[in-house]
Amino acid sequence: MELQNTVKQALNALYHHPGDTLRMQADRWLQDFQRTLDAWQVADNLLHDATSNLETLIFCSQTLRSKVQRDFEELPSEAFRPLRDSLNTLLKKFHKGPPKVRTQISIAVAALAVYVPAEDWGDGGIVNWLRDEMNSHPEYIPGFLELLTVLPEEVYNYKIAARPERRRQFEKELTSQMEVALSILTACLSINELKEQVLEAFASWLRLKHGIPGSVLASHPLVLTALSSLNSEPLSEASVNVISELIHYTAAGSSGGVAVQMPLIQVPLIQVLVPHVMSLKALLKDSSKDEEDVKAIARLFADMGDSYVELIATGSDESMIIVNALLEVASHPENYIASMTFNFWHSLQVILTKRDTSLPFGNEASIEADRKRRQGAFVPSYESLVSLVSFRVEYPQDYLDLSHEDRREFKQTRYAVADVLTDAASVLGGDATLKILYKKLLEAVARCGNGENNEWRPVEAALFCIRAISNYVSVVEAEVMPQVMGLLPKLPQQPQLLQTVCLTIGVYSKWLDSASIGPAILPSLIDILMSGMGTSEDSAAAAALAFRHICDDCRKKLCGCIEGLFHIYHSAVSGESSFKVAAEDSLHLVEALSMVITELPPDNAKRALEALCLPVITPLQEAVSQGPEILNKKPARELTVHIDRFAYIFRYVNHPEAVADAIHRLWPIFKAIFDLRAWDMRTMESLCRACKYAVRTSGMFMGITIGAMLEEIQGLYKQHHQSCFLYLSSEVIKIFGSDPSCANYLKILIESLFIHTTRLLTNIQEFTARPDIADDCFLLASRCIRYCPQLFIPSEVFQPLVDCSLIGITVQHREASNSILNFLSDVFDLANSSKGEQYLPIRDSVIIPRGASITRILIASLTGALPSSRLEPVTDTVLALTHAYRARAVEWAKESVSLIPLTAVTEVERSRFLKALSDAASGFDINNLTVAIKEMADVCRRNRTVQEIVQGALRPLELNLIPVS
């Protein structure tokens, strides 16, 4: 009683006390209370207590529901029947409400049924029990109907901490009881006021997608009731849900698929789905219809299209009736209704355009002819679709006044329409689609010339659509594209229109390179891009991106006018012009000039590279010349904006010797920044990225500069622990790891870096505090295994690094944990790497004494030490260990699994897991091991109590304290 009163007081404080602090304390106390064993009895007592208020009833019903779902195994087995009877009494008590309470109790009963086998439930399982209760107590039928509704939904509710095997059994039990459930619902149809509830329950059972043949359903009273309710006013939401589920049911593989369910969807039958849904088509344009009704009808058409797309793709007369209805939906003025069909048009396009590569020889011609015939049947539909969706991308007149959320929704609509247009272009061909859109552009331009208000919007919309299909327009298209490009300089330079014009120029850069008129129109198009750079930040960003595309694809044509390109580049980078190009967008211009320089002869490229570097190095020289004190106080942004440009130059100027010469000349400036700003992570990351690309492009031409660079980062890493120094070293290992002349240098480098890192990462707390170092350290170690195992495996740092990895596997940082797991997988897979096989004895001398600990940590990671989202990389590591050590790995796993108490994992579950592991070790189906691992993970994570038991038994974080024998 005292605890019950405390719960009431805490709830009163939570909902009614004016002080935030006390409300938060009450909330925390109530959450902690829900996890206790006492919560069972207290919640049950308060629900039976006639004096409990609504807040208490809702809280206690939620508590009881969550206790059943998550903590049922806390109770002794004999507690089941009293709990079931108590919940049944409560279900009857609240059969008329409050609805929230009744729903929670219904879910609790359904969750109980998931745990308890049908034979233990009594009376042939919960469905038969429910039927008997409804027959005995007809006055409580509404409450029992809610239970019947939630019951099949709990099959897929993974909040219920049942074991996977029991969950599968429950699904089978419900499937076998489907006829009984439908007979209960059919009997309830006679109660008129329950019809909606009956239909909702029927929809819920149909989601199981098993058990009843289509021929039976086609004439079933529940189906007939749902179909007849489609014509009711207002439209019955429950009947729409039933028809929607029936459509999905007929197409589901588990129900036999479309072929088996054909009696339900064939047009000639009287009681069929398709004719009834098709009869609603006229209502789509009925202005008197409520928008929610129209939305429901559109949903049925969309469901029909998605489910029967393979039948529709045959192009039969019957299927074209459905396609025309879907075009009606696509034409609806509301975007969210029209967009319901977008998935169908994509799925249909995939079927119509795919080519089957597994065809028997000799059939290709006839099958290809049939594919073209079917594709041709849908040409008019996709042509209509292009016209129906293209207007949806037009900017609304009040766009600038829209909220952030509305603007975001408009942009999402544009992206969705762009996807539909590419689907249409896949079927029609890009050139044919372009002709349709060009007509719309001409109409819009004509209106623009007539001086109509806001005339730029239709022009922009047409251009947006033309831009969307650029990948499908052939580079040799010579009828429409020249006219489109010829129109662009004549359009008004309104900012949003100019932005789309610039982007359109960019996406057709390949066409400009191939077109005979390309050289003639390129200057005028570049003039447009320069206008874009000076108009607004958005148009400048679009122009910079387009400039990069043009320079990439038309680089050979532009080599002759590099002086003009440099003028644009200098104007944007120096910040002295009226250009509005942001620092991030200026990188597109750096990349653009770099790609043109790549096409120049070596001598010309060297001079051009110097000119490219000049406006970038000057501000850095000035910063360094101001002395250490001023340089140290500068915001990182003032340096990184220039250093990032060097990264792009070194990445995209593909002249190794010229880049090597440039980095050699720039090294004194870089070294000064390294020395004076090594404490600054952002500057160091930017500088290391620039050096990485210099190393990657220059390769062996780096000469003595690479030595100076490695010496610098090796020394600075010990002082400042910047993870990017490890990251840069990974790139060096990739380029120079197999070069014998670099062996001594690289050996010293990796030993120095790894020794220092293992001294930093001595416990899981250090891994948690320094996840970037852990991530980059083990990425570097994996690179060493792949590119220079001869330097790494025999070294003194290999064993300490393996020990270090065991400490850090369970770090919660995703990238760090994945890098450690990948490193261990690479160690186990050493025989697969270049020159790795000869070092297997060294590997085994380190791994075998630690095998039991490694396996135990990995199993702990699978069973809860790492989040379930990390299962895949842990599974890959377990597979690699099993493949490398076979029978030994199975023995190590047996040792670990035997530590887990039988209350958490049964002997059958252990045996299943170990059998799959043993089969994988013997070379049998590895997929079985993946399934077994997933099941073991589910069993051990099914609730917090079990997870704590498993982790308490495996104790992964304590293993690194145990000396290796």
Calculate mean pLDDT across residues 517-522. 90
**pLDDT higher than 60, residue 263:** no
- What's the pLDDT score for residue 39? 95
- What's the pLDDT score for residue 453? 57
Task: Tell me which residue of 676, 674, 707 sits closest to 690, measured CA to CA.
Answer: 674
Calculate mean pLDDT across residues 426-443. 96
Task: Tell me which residue of 292, 207, 195 sits closest to 238, measured CA to CA.
Answer: 195
**Measured distance CA(480)–CA(482) in Å, rounded:** 6
**Measured distance CA(170)–CA(116) in Å, rounded:** 9
Task: Tell me which residue of 33, 46, 47, 181 sits closest to 113, measured CA to CA.
Answer: 181
pLDDT (tens digit per residue) in 325-381: 999 999 999 999 999 999 999 999 999 998 765 555 556 677 778 888 888 999 999
pLDDT (tens digit per residue) in 130-145: 999 999 999 999 889 9
Task: Tell me which residue of 231, 264, 259, 271 sits closest to 245, measured CA to CA.
Answer: 264
**Measured distance CA(321)–CA(296) in Å, rounded:** 19
- What's the pLDDT score for residue 963? 46
Residues 6+ apart with CB under 8 A from 952: none
Contacts 24+ apart (CB under 8 A), 313-320: 313/348, 313/351, 313/352, 313/374, 314/374, 315/373, 315/374, 315/377, 315/378, 318/267, 318/274, 320/377, 320/381
Calculate mean pLDDT across residues 747-760. 95
Three-state secondary structure along 730-782?
A: HHHHHHHCCCHHHHHHHHHHHHHHHHHHHHHCCCHHHHHHCHHHHHHHHHHHH
Instruction: Provide the residue count of the chain.
Output: 965
pLDDT (tens digit per residue) in 82-104: 999 999 999 999 988 799 999 99
Q: Give the model's confidence band at 268: pLDDT under 50 very low, under 70 low, under 90 confident, else very high.
A: very low
Find out whether 354 and 427 touch, Cβ atoms under 8 Å: no
Find out whether 894 and 855 touch, Cβ atoms under 8 Å: no
**Measured distance CA(33)–CA(35) in Å, rounded:** 5
What are the angstrom distances between the C-alpha of 786 and each of 667, 738, 832, 835? 29, 10, 9, 9
CB neighbours of residue 29 within 10 Å? 16
The secondary structure element, H or E, covering residue 88 is: helix 80-93
Q: Give the model's confidence band at 405: pLDDT under 50 very low, under 70 low, under 90 confident, else very high.
A: very high
Task: Tell me which residue of 839, 805, 822, 817 sits closest to 960, measured CA to CA.
Answer: 805
Three-state secondary structure along 816-853?
A: HHHHHHHHHHHHHCHHHCCCCHHHHHHHHHHHHHHHHH
**Measured distance CA(40)–CA(620) in Å, rounded:** 69
Q: Token digits for 256?
A: 């036999």
Calculate mean pLDDT across residues 38-46. 95
pLDDT (tens digit per residue) in 768-818: 999 999 999 999 999 999 999 999 999 999 999 999 999 999 999 999 999
Max mean pLDDT range (253-267, 304-318, 571-585, 632-646)? 632-646
The secondary structure element, H or E, covering residue 857 is: helix 840-860
- Using a pLDDT cut of 90, give the percent of the chain over it: 76
Task: Tell me which residue of 324, 332, 350, 225 sits closest to 284, measured CA to CA.
Answer: 332
Residues 6+ apart with CB under 8 A from 708: 667, 671
Find out whether 104 and 192 touch, Cβ atoms under 8 Å: no
Compare 674 and 217 and report the one with higher pLDDT: 674
Residues 6+ apart with CB under 8 A from 462: 390, 437, 438, 440, 441, 444
Q: Is 627 helix (H, G, I), strand (E, B) or coil?
A: coil
Calculate mean pLDDT across residues 501-512. 97
- What's the pLDDT score for residue 267? 32
Handedness of CA 254, 256, 262, 263 (dihedral sign): negative
Three-state secondary structure along 328-360?
A: HHHCCCCHHHHHHHHHHHHHHHHHHHCCCCCCC
- What's the pLDDT score for residue 271? 40
**Measured distance CA(600)–CA(783) in Å, rounded:** 34
Q: Check residue 451 and give left, alpha or beta (phi > 0: left; psi -120 to 50: alpha).
A: left
- What's the pLDDT score for residue 270? 29
**Measured distance CA(501)–CA(463) in Å, rounded:** 7
Q: Token digits for 889?
A: 């790995």
**Measured distance CA(588)–CA(542) in Å, rounded:** 10
**Measured distance CA(791)–CA(743) in Å, rounded:** 7
**Measured distance CA(622)–CA(638) in Å, rounded:** 12
Find out whether 269 and 218 touch, Cβ atoms under 8 Å: yes
Calculate mean pLDDT across residues 893-908. 95
Residues 6+ apart with CB under 8 A from 391: 461
- What's the pLDDT score for residue 738? 86
Q: Token digits for 139?
A: 């006055």
Q: Give the model's confidence band at 895: pLDDT under 50 very low, under 70 low, under 90 confident, else very high.
A: very high
What are the angstrom distances between the C-alpha of 429 and each of 85, 433, 469, 839, 913? 66, 6, 10, 56, 52
- What's the pLDDT score for residue 962? 46
Calculate mean pLDDT across residues 442-457. 78
Q: Give the model's confidence band at 266: pLDDT under 50 very low, under 70 low, under 90 confident, else very high.
A: very low
End-to-end CA distance of the chain: 57
Task: Tell me which residue of 804, 799, 734 sits closest to 767, measured CA to CA.
Answer: 804
Find out whether 240 and 230 touch, Cβ atoms under 8 Å: yes
Task: Tell me which residue of 219, 86, 95, 213 sits closest to 148, measured CA to CA.
Answer: 95
- What's the pLDDT score for residue 449? 66
Residues 6+ apart with CB under 8 A from 563: none
Q: DSSP readout, 889-933?
A: HHHHHHHHHHTS-TTTS-HHHHHHHHHHHHHHHTT--HHHHHHHH
**Measured distance CA(383)–CA(388) in Å, rounded:** 9
Please classify residue 619 by burial: count the beta carbons closer than 10 Å to its beta carbon, then call 0-12 exposed, 13-18 middle and 19+ buried: middle
Calculate mean pLDDT across residues 744-753. 93
Q: Helices 562-574 and 583-598: crossing angle, nearest 10°?
A: 160
Calculate mean pLDDT across residues 674-693. 96
Phi, psi of 286 (to 5 degrees): -80, 110
Residues 6+ apart with CB under 8 A from 88: 109, 133
Q: Token digits for 222?
A: 């529940």
- What's the pLDDT score for residue 716? 95
